[in-house]
Structures are given as structure tokens and as C-alpha cells.
Structure 1
Amino acid sequence: MNLVLLGFGNIGQGFARTLLRKMKFLSKRYGLTPRIIAAVDVDGAVVDESGLDIEKLLETAEEKGTVAEYPRKGEKGRSGVEVIRNIKADVVFELTPTNIEDGEPGLTHIKEAITAGRDVITSNKGPLVVAFRELNEMAANFGVEFRYSASVGGAIPIIGLVRDQLAGDEVYSIQGVLNGTTNYILTRMAMEGAPFDVVLREAQELEIAEKDPTLDVEGIDTACKVTVLANALLDWDSRLDDVDITGIRRVGPDVTRLAQETKNTVKLVGVANSEKLEVSPRLVPIGHPLDVRGTLNAITLETDLAREISISGFGAGPQETSSALLGDMIEIYRSKGD
């Protein structure tokens, strides 16, 4: 299976390391031998249709700052679109950073790959909150697979769980703690009684929060994930603007203390059901499945047959995201009977 990686930052490099680690496992269990034949970053690309040396690719990115410096085969200025159009790959991985405004460059990458007849796997929420239905319809029209398990919940296999094991169930509602940064902040506030600003600085020092934490603490990242889940599991045709969003900046020590006195905790919860899409701080009973600590994520589904199902796990990080990317790749391989 020949792979193209568009985006070779933390997620792209994490996935490449995962492939190195899992090569023997994939071959033994599935008879699958993945080859990275092209990698692209903001500065350029490297292409070798016989397969790139993954260790050398990672070494080049770390030491030179770009895959375009890969010995002899790297090329500065070569774009992802050019690579898609000219390289015969089986699967294109779209792993560029999320852009919630217009989904670019990921949106164009995905459209080009689908049009070229390539299966696509992405961790990028941007194209999904901008053009979810359009991309799925394109994939169906061109007869290719389009998978995005890694866009929500990291290692939590929520989309695959519903589409496979719960294929006979109708999902009525989804509730989730979907952002590790805000969950860490709220957990620390509850434990220490510290104000928001103090805990945010701590999270930034630990690199749990970004230097600009706006997307996390204002609830926008959670809203993106709610949008994807509503579209994928509830058959909505929603965009980010359809979500009613309240972040956690106004949550103070008084709120977390009062919550504890009533045997509750405060969580930033995303909700999707037939009536609304919403993100807001909510009281969650201590011991409830959504009462997860630190950077963990959790999701609870309400369905007609299985009733209520909850799942929790690590929702972010290159290794955790690679778990979902790898799962999507294996499913594509198995679906084709190769």
C-alpha cells in the first residue's frame, strides 16, 4: 500500500514513527506492507515511488526542519496538489494543521485526492466543519474511501464504534468531554481551588495549552468536534456556526467549589442531538462516565437498542492520533480484500 503524507509536523511525524514501530505487526497480522512514497510540508516535498526510508525522513525533518532537504530526492517549493496529481498513491493522508475558517489547504488537498481516485484519511477537522457533506458525496461519486476517525477523540474509536459494532442502532444523542486542555484546566481548578488564569499559565508551562489557547478555552475546538460527530453519526449537515458555544473563561473557584459541595464537577461538554448542537460548561455528577480527569476525553451515546454507551481515553497527541489513523488505513486495506 503506497502512502502520501500531506503535512509532516507533529501528527505526520508521529504517524511515520508509528509505521516504523508497527511494520512487522502489520505484515504478520494483515499481510500489509505500507510504504511512504511522498511526504509534503510547508517548504516542499520528497518523492520516491519505490518507498522512502522512514528513519531518514524523520531524521531530515528533525535536523533540517523540512522534508524538502531529504538527500537527493527532496524538492523545495513542490506543493501537495502537485504531488497528488502526479504520484500514483493508494492512500493520501491529509495531516496539515486545522483551519476552521475555510478548511485550507486541507480542503483542496482532499478534493484533489478524491478526484484523482485516491482513498483519503485525515485528522484535519477544518475541511470537515466547512464541507463535510460535499466531501462525503464526492468520495461516494468517485468510488473512494474517505475516513476521518482521527479528527475526533484521538485514540477513542467513537466513529468506528457506531458505524461498525452499532450499525443497527439509531443514535439519539451524543455528549462528550472532547478537549484535553480545558479538561486539565477544570480538573486542576477543582483540585486546587485555583483561579482560571493561574491554572492556564501552568498548563501553558507544561505545554498542555497553546501559547494562544483561544480555540480550546473558548470552546471552539470542542465545537468543531461536535460538528463532525453530528454530521457523521446523526446525519446532520451542520457547520461550526450552527453550534451554540460558551467557553470556560468565566468559570471561577466559586463555581468549582459549589459544584463539589453538591457532589458535582464542572466539565466543558459538547452536546449533539436532534434539537441542538451546543458546547458549554456543565455540572457532571462525580462518578459519571463524563467525570474524567486531566487530559482524558470521554463520550456518552444514547441509542435505541444499546441504550447508553460511554467510552473514554486519550484524546490528543501524535501517538493517540496515530492509533486512529492506523485503524482507518487497516480498514481501507481490508475492505479492498488486498
Structure 2
Amino acid sequence: MKIALLGLGSVGRGVARVLSDPAYGFVITAAADSKSGAVAQPGSSLDMDEVFSRKAATGRCGDTAWNAERIVREAEYDILVEVTPTNAQTGEPALSHIRTALARGKHVVTSNKGPVSIAYPELAQLAAEHNAALLFEGTVAGAVPIINGLVHGLAGNKVLQLFGILNGTCNYILTRMEEESLTYAQALDEARDLGYAEADPTYDVNGTDAAIKLVILANAVFDMGVTLDDVIRIGIDRLTPDALRMAGTTGHTIRLIASIHPEKRLLEVSPRLIPKDHPLVVEGTLNAVTVETKLAGPITFIGRGAGSVETASAVLADLLAVKERYGGT
């Protein structure tokens, strides 16, 4: 199947690397960064090593005549892979790219949280109207298959509640504060140095990133029809090493927990006390989500929640699902 790849940053590189294996049966026929695009000749595929080399040398992946918007609108492809940076306020330009692709009857696989959190009901309806797939496993927990686990693996189970760690940056900071008695500022600086935190980490540390992921789960899995404003949010920036030490005296630790109670329509992100022997107490940048179900009881998903190859793993799973479902047409 032919793929148009939008976004040539860390995740885009991971996707290109994974799809270079011909065993998967995908070819990249078009690619774009924020300034330019590259389109293969009919019947051929792009040499992505060449595309990335050109971008490194010139700052552009290809010709300015082929930008992302034109590729989505005019290029030949079966699946749009949208992995550009997230805009949590408007979802743009990714939201427009996805709308255009779905309206053309093209399948969409994305790891971009913005469009899915802002406009999931609209996008899902558009996909249904045009017999196109819209898949986004990589938007919530990186390589952890939480959406597929809930929709398919736990099909038929009533979910009583879902709660867990959906932001690796915060988990790393809290882990280091506990292990080394670092202050919040010291742990944050360390996370920045290691590339786990952005230069501006506000969305991570104030709970917004985890809240966006909750909205995606709430709407796509539980059909709750909520927005970011419906999520109660308390961040970790006021936590101290003393608070973690005090928690430790009772056999607890503190983690930033995102939770959904579907029946109560309650969504919350906040620091919480957790027993140190609870499955959610994972270290470093790992994600962990516990799902309490009526039939299967509690089930915990644990894995890497971010990273280029890890997110590419989720994208690949979605691509293979599209290929299986639509038979390469």
C-alpha cells in the first residue's frame, strides 16, 4: 500500500525506518515537512535516506512546489500517516490534512493528539461516510496498545474505571525526586538534559498532555463526548522531596495519575498517593495503565509511552490493521 508521510521529525524518522522493511508491504510515495514536499514518480517509491539527507543539508525535504497541503489533496497514496507536531489549541494544520484525506476516501493513521482530541466525532463520521479507516493508537501511550486493548482485547467487558500514568516526563521527574531527593527544578533540568522534557515543559508538568490523552480515550473508547475543559487538572510543579519522603514513611509514593470513571463521567489528572507495590509504580519514562473491568477484573498495561521507534511501533500496528481490513485496495 502507498503511504504519504507528513512529518519528518523524530517520529517520522522512526516510521520511515520501520517501513523500510519490505516484508510489511508498504511504500512511501510522498513525504512532507513544514516547508516542502517530495513525491515519487508514478510506479516508484521515495528513497527516504535521500529525503532525510536532503533535509539535513538544506532544511527542506524536497520541492517547495509540493507542500503538505498539496500532497494530501493531489498526490497518489492509500494511507496518510500524519505525525507532525501536536497543536493542542486548534489541531492545525494536521486537522485540515486529516479532513482532506478522509474526504478523498484515503485511510488515515496518526500519532498526532491535537486533531483526535479536538474533533474525533467529526473525523470518525467523515471516515465512515467515505469508507476510510481512522486509527490513532500512537496518540495515547506510545508503544502501549491501550486503545486496541480496550476496543478489541477487552471487547464485551464493562470498564468500571481506568487510571494510570500517561506522561513519561512527569514520571521521570517524580522518580528522580524520590530516588535522589532532587528538587522539582533539579529533576526537570535533568529531564531536559536527557531529552525527556521539552524546553517548555508546561503541557507535561501541568497535566495537560495526560488530559488530552484522557479525552481521546473517553471519546474514542467510551463515547463520552467530552473536551479538554471537562478534565480536572492538577500538575506536579509544586511537589517537594519532603512530600515524597512523607509518602514513603507509609509505604506509598506519588505519581501523576490520569483517570476516567465512565459512569460518573469524571476525568481527572492529579498527583496521587499509591502503594509502592502497586503495578502502576513504574520508573523512568514508562507508561502504565490499569483498567478495572467487570468480567476480567483489573488488567495493567505497561510499556514505553514515547520515543521515535516506540511510537512508530504503534503506527505500524495501525497500518497493518488497515492493510488487513481493506486488503491493500
- The question of a shared fold, defined as TM-score above 0.5 by the shorter chain, is answered with yes
- 2:280 aligns with 290
- 1:333 aligns with 323
- 1:19 aligns with 19
What do the CA deviations read for 1:77-135 (whole angstroms, capped 9, x no partner)? Answer: 53322112211211001111100101100110000000011000000000112111111
- 1:165 aligns with 153
Aligned partner of 1:277 among 257, 267, 274: 267
Aligned partner of 1:196 among 184, 195, 205: 184
Deviation at 1:223, TM superposition (A): 0.6
Is contact 1:153-1:178 (8 Å) kept? yes
Matches of 2:60 and 2:295 in 1, distance apart?
50
Is contact 1:153-1:314 (8 Å) kept? yes
- 1:29 aligns with none
Deviation at 1:206, TM superposition (A): 1.5
Matched, 1:63 2:67: no
Matched, 1:128 2:116: yes
Matched, 1:87 2:75: yes
Is contact 1:298-1:310 (8 Å) kept? yes
Matched, 1:40 2:36: no
Q: What TM-score do the two structures reach when normalised by structure 2?
A: 0.96
Deviation at 1:208, TM superposition (A): 1.3
- 1:318 aligns with 308
Deviation at 1:232, TM superposition (A): 1.8
What do the CA deviations read for 1:120-179 (whole angstroms, capped 9, x no partner)? Answer: 000000011211111111111111100000101100011111222211212221111011
What do the CA deviations read for 1:222-250 (whole angstroms, capped 9, x no partner)? Answer: 11111111112211111111111100011
- 1:249 aligns with 237
Matches of 1:228 and 1:145 in 2, distance apart?
16
Matched, 1:260 2:254: no
- 2:131 aligns with 143
SS of the equivalent of 2:3 reads strand
How many pairs are equivalent? 324
Structure 1, unpaired ranges of 5+: 27-32, 69-74
State the AA in 1 paired with 2:134.
Answer: F
Percent identity between matched residues is: 42
Is contact 2:39-2:66 (8 Å) kept? no
Matches of 1:250 and 1:127 in 2, distance apart?
30
Matches of 2:150 and 2:136 in 1, distance apart?
13
Q: What TM-score do the two structures reach when normalised by structure 1?
A: 0.93
Is contact 2:160-2:294 (8 Å) kept? yes
CA distance 1:227–1:122, shift in 2 (3 Å): same
Matches of 2:178 and 2:156 in 1, distance apart?
40
What do the CA deviations read for 1:8-33 (whole angstroms, capped 9, x no partner)? Answer: 1111111101112x323x2xxxxxx2
Say which is worse superposed, 320-329 or 42-51, in terms of deviation: 42-51
Is contact 1:172-1:234 (8 Å) kept? no
Cα RMSD of the aligned pairs, angstroms, is: 1.2
Matches of 1:77 and 1:173 in 2, distance apart?
49
Matches of 2:246 and 2:289 in 1, distance apart?
25
- 2:47 aligns with 53
- 1:2 aligns with 2
Matched, 1:221 2:220: no
Is contact 2:4-2:80 (8 Å) kept? yes
Matches of 1:172 and 1:104 in 2, distance apart?
34
Is contact 1:269-1:282 (8 Å) kept? yes
